[in-house]
């Protein structure tokens, strides 16, 4: 074999080797991950769904030691709890003693507690308050001070005739039925954009019912494309803090 032929064979072999490497890089793309991994998309949808559909119900015990009526009705103490964007759904009272008067409790945008009847003093009560946010992005409740006042708007928080203590607040988080309906009424294309979901991919959200499934929002799978599913075990919670187990399904394709 001539020396020139050896060089030609070497050049051809090297060329074929480089072509093979190029094809591997172009077609197989080693080390390159798909732009939208299914796991990442499922995480995105779960995170956005929980954020947009859940809310927090708060429960707070108020320990009432004493409210003493005054001869002048305008000077009689009353307890008023109020915070912007929060509404009281229940105000359940219980007694810790048999020596107490009668309380009048009104719940709504404020919780108002007064002592009524012929007994001059109401004492030894526990009032369990439940309240919920009335706005989409309500801030943490900050009760208006003074809490104990009278018809003359005097500050009675340090008055011995109005002795109370606020207990520790408990938070109960869950899916709001009202917010689920809001998601259901939202346009699918608008929801995809709102959740920063890729335009070329599709998804659907379902709630499992005893009789089957209810679609919350989303598209419909088509053709033979693979559908990836994630099931979420959670619960719904109403305005008074009652929680019900619920199962939701996220599907992407």
My answer on whether 112 and 185 are in the same domain is no
Look at strands 243-252 and 78-82 and give their pairing: unpaired
Find the domain containing 112 and state its range. 56-173
Residue 15 included in any domain: no
Taking the alpha carbons at both ends of the chain, their separation in whole angstroms is 60
pLDDT band, very low/low/confident/very high, at 139 (cuts 50, 70, 90): confident
d(CA 43, CA 28): 27
pLDDT over 90 at 129, yes or no: yes
Residue 13 included in any domain: no
Last residue of a domain, one of 154, 173, 192: 173
Min mean pLDDT across 13-22, 149-158, 172-181 is at 13-22
My answer on whether 154 and 97 are in the same domain is yes
pLDDT of residue 33: 45
pLDDT tens readout for residues 82-116: 999 999 999 999 877 666 678 899 999 999 999 98
My answer on whether 160 and 76 are in the same domain is yes
Residue 27 included in any domain: no
d(CA 124, CA 63): 7
Last residue of a domain, one of 146, 173, 200: 173
Q: What value does the mean pLDDT take over residues 4-21?
A: 64
Give the phi and the psi of residue 168 in degrees, each rounded to 5: -85, 135
Residues in the chain: 253
My answer on whether 140 and 245 are in the same domain is no
My answer on whether 47 and 140 are in the same domain is no
Which structure tokens are listed for 116? 């009524």
Last residue of a domain, one of 125, 149, 173: 173
Domains held by the chain: number: 2
pLDDT tens readout for residues 225-249: 789 999 999 999 999 999 999 999 9
My answer on whether 227 and 168 are in the same domain is no
């Amino acid at each position: 074999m001539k020396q020139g032929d050896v060089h030609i064979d070497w050049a051809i072999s090297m060329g074929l080797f480089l072509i093979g490497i190029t094809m591997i890089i172009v077609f197989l793309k080693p080390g390159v991950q798909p732009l939208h991994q299914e796991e990442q998309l499922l995480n995105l949808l779960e995170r956005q769904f929980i954020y947009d559909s859940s809310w927090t119900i708060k429960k707070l015990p108020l320990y009432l030691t004493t409210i003493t009526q005054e001869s002048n009705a305008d000077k009689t103490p009353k307890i008023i709890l109020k915070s912007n964007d929060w509404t009281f759904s229940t105000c359940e009272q219980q007694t810790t003693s048999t020596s107490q008067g009668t309380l009048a409790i009104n719940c709504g945008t404020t919780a108002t507690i007064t002592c009524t009847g012929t007994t001059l003093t109401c004492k030894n009560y526990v009032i369990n308050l439940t309240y919920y946010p009335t706005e989409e992005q309500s801030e943490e409740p900050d009760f208006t001070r003074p809490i104990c006042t009278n018809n003359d708007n005097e500050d009675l928080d340090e008055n011995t005739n109005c002795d109370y203590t606020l207990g520790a607040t408990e938070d109960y988080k869950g899916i709001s039925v009202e917010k689920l309906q809001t998601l259901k009424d939202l346009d699918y294309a608008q929801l995809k954009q709102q959740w920063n979901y890729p335009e070329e991919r599709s998804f659907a959200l379902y709630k499992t019912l005893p009789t089957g499934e209810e679609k919350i929002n989303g598209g419909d799978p088509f053709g033979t494309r693979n559908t990836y599913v994630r099931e979420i075990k959670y619960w719904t919670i109403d305005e008074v803090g009652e929680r019900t187990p619920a199962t939701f399904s996220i599907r992407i394709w």
